[in-house]
A = this chain, B = another copy of it.
Amino acid sequence: MLLSGLDGVKPRLTDRQRQRLAAAATRLQLAPRTIVYRDGDPAGAVFINGGGVVITYKDMPSGKRRVAGFRFYADVFGLAEHGAYVNSARAVTAVTLYRIPTETLTTILRQDADLEFQFLCKMVDELRQAQRKSIIVARRDAAGRVAMFVDMLRLIGHSTHPDVIEIPMSRSDMGNYLNLALESVSRACAQLTRDGILEFSRRGARIVDRARFYKLVTSG
């Protein structure tokens, strides 16, 4: 049951569990570009994304910014290591966050094994993102990486049109995630457009040639 539970299944909370968490949580409304916490800060709380997009990243000694991932609705983030946050978190769009002190959460989880398990799945899910990223970044061609990134957003996004994908983050954020210079991201978008596979706007993309797009995404 544990093993199968970790087998990539998305957890769902009951209403009672939601209420329990809501009572313990502080609701935050943050404007775009607001820092949620910084790398190295004492990790006093865990966050649940209640809407909007958050980016987690770490500035490296070299000056480069490594993006760990993006957190969307219902994602949990703020995983600590040795009592301190390992990444920084920043609001990409306007976001609603639920902030739960670690101690409070621990108490609640101790009283609700099921909820504890759901949280666990969330943690595993967060870490699974790193695997996805590994696969994406393993590609050598910028266009392929961007295509896989767009496909990732497609799978996450609950867009009205199946071919229209919202891209909430900047080219720079994309580049830091994909391990590409922002100019390379821009050029890759231009090339995909020229090739008639995708069409890009400032904050979105549209799949033009679904077959070739799928082929490009899976040819990693």
* Residues of chain A at the chain B interface (Cβ within 8 Å): 1-4, 6-8, 46, 60-62, 64, 66, 68, 79-83, 102, 105-106, 109-110, 116, 119-120, 123-124, 127-128, 130-131, 133-135, 137-138, 179, 218-220
Rounded to whole angstroms, the CA-CA distance of A131 and B46 in the bound complex is 19
Other-chain contact of A131, B6, B82, B130 (Cβ < 8 Å): B130
Q: Are B66 and A120 in contact (CB under 8 A)?
A: no
Rounded to whole angstroms, the CA-CA distance of A189 and B46 in the bound complex is 42
Q: Can you offer 23 A-B residue contacts whose CB atoms are under 8 A?
A: A1-B110, A2-B109, A2-B110, A2-B116, A2-B120, A3-B80, A3-B105, A6-B79, A6-B120, A7-B81, A8-B82, A60-B219, A61-B218, A61-B219, A61-B220, A66-B138, A68-B134, A123-B124, A127-B127, A128-B130, A130-B130, A130-B131, A133-B134
Rounded to whole angstroms, the CA-CA distance of A102 and B81 in the bound complex is 30
Name which residue of chain B comes closest to A141, CB basis. B62
Rounded to whole angstroms, the CA-CA distance of A19 and B167 in the bound complex is 52
Q: A7-B82, A8-B81, A106-B3 are in contact. Are A127 and B120 (CB under 8 A)?
A: no
